[in-house]
Amino acid sequence: PAPRELVRAGKTYVKLSGYRHISKLPDLSDMAPLAHALIEAGPDRLVWGTDWPHTTRRPDGDRRAIAPSQQLRLLRSWCDADTFTQILARTPAQLYRFP
């Protein structure tokens, strides 16, 4: 099954910051359809992370740094405030069983 279907079924978690590895555009805007599909499928199954310290190399060899702040702004542009909080706080707390 596609990742979106696994998310929808509650069978997996997806880390959204990994989109920088497959984007073809420097501003990562081509990842919006994928992000929207995953967010629609289940924000309670999505987490975010910076990938630090591996944020300056892309699979195509491009070494442009992608700042965590840029990644966060992009995520915020893809969802409303409650969903943003879900992905950044509530889902990780549930997944990692934070007190």
Are residues 42 and 10 in contact, defined by beta-carbon separation less than 8 angstroms? yes
* pLDDT tens profile 33-67: 999 999 999 999 999 987 776 655 555 666 566 77
pLDDT band at 7 (very low <50, low <70, confident <90, very high): very high
Model-level pTM?
A: 0.84
pLDDT at position 25 is 84
pLDDT at position 45 is 97
d(CA 98, CA 93): 5
Helices 68-78 and 32-41 cross at an angle (nearest 10°) of 60
- pLDDT > 90 fraction of the chain, expressed in percent and rounded: 57
Peptide bond into 53 cis (omega under 30): yes
Token readout for 65 is 């740094």
